[in-house]
Amino acid sequence: MRLRVTAVAVVIAGLAGLLASQVQAQADGAKPADGAKLYTVVDGNKVDANTLKGWRTWRAMACERCHGANQEGMVGPSLIDSLKVLSKDQFKDTVLNGRVDKGMPNFGGSEQVTQNIDNLYAYLKGRSDGAIKPGRVESMEK
């Protein structure tokens, strides 16, 4: 019985730590290794100019046809879940080179995608972190 109580306490402490780190990530915008903010969001749908470019790239490439309007998956996987485990380099490789065997076309020939791949990653990472709400986003500078 004592072992169960200890195991439950350890699990609760771990979950509390995980929750605290997620709350901090949402407040700061996930920060890459260089310490710069990956994205900035206010009120869940007002974002910085680069993140807005990422959202526009998402819309222009019609990614929702496979990944769903809210990035929660359809024919393609949930990007909410995928961006929790994929590194930025893995994300870029997947988008630019595709995964044809799994139905993901390559977007390396799209100038809009290649010029905005970091912005697209920032937008989707913000969605995955729960900092950016589903749906339309707008400039935080309005």
Is 29:41 a contact under the CB 8 Å cutoff?
yes
22/12 Cα distance (integer angstroms): 15
pLDDT of residue 25 exceeding 80:
no
Phi and psi dihedrals of 104, rounded to 5?
-90, 110
The span from the CA of 87 to the CA of 43, in Å, is 26
What confidence tens digit (pLDDT) does each residue in 29-77 have? Answer: 566 666 689 999 999 999 999 999 999 999 999 999 999 999 999 999 9
**Token digits of residue 65:** 């046809």
- For residue 49, the one-letter residue type is A
**Residue 138: both structure tokens together:** 């707008």
DSSP state of 43: T
Total-model pTM = 0.77
